[in-house]
Structure 1
């Protein structure tokens, strides 16, 4: 894994993995594709979400909420 892990929060609530309880994630932008937009060759116009991939177990959490804040950690 090339990127350092991040911690994430919505407001003052820290996000933990739903599977293993870890607080460290890899982040990436994820397109929320719809079949209609795919059919019209306009997938690029779909809404995106923040994907948090658990650093420990790999479970993927998706947040369409734009209020997710990411914080770098000192860990690797």
Structure 2
């Protein structure tokens, strides 16, 4: 089962852009490019942190490595 997290960027707590929810589940997301796919090098493309809103399911993508995830006990 997915773990619920709160997300922070510095002192700013991240909330969902759609429903203003504060709980997310995290997933790594590959940012594939056409050129890298064509050359069979998609594995080398950049990875983003995907935060999926626990309430509405909207997916937020972050490439900033300073994002901090804090697990929430439910």
TM-score by length of 2: 0.97
How much has 1:69 moved relative to structure 2?
Answer: 0.5
Provide the rounded CA distance (Å) in 2 between the counterparts of 1:12 and 1:3: 25
Question: What value does the CA root-mean-square deviation take over the aligned residues?
Answer: 0.5
1:33 corresponds in structure 2 to: 32
User: Which blocks of at least 5 consecutive residues in structure 1 are unaligned?
Assistant: none
2:58 corresponds in structure 1 to: 59
TM-score by length of 1: 0.95
| Deviation string, structure 1 residues 2-60 (Cα, Å, up to 9, x no partner) | 12210000001000000001000010110100000000000000000000000000000
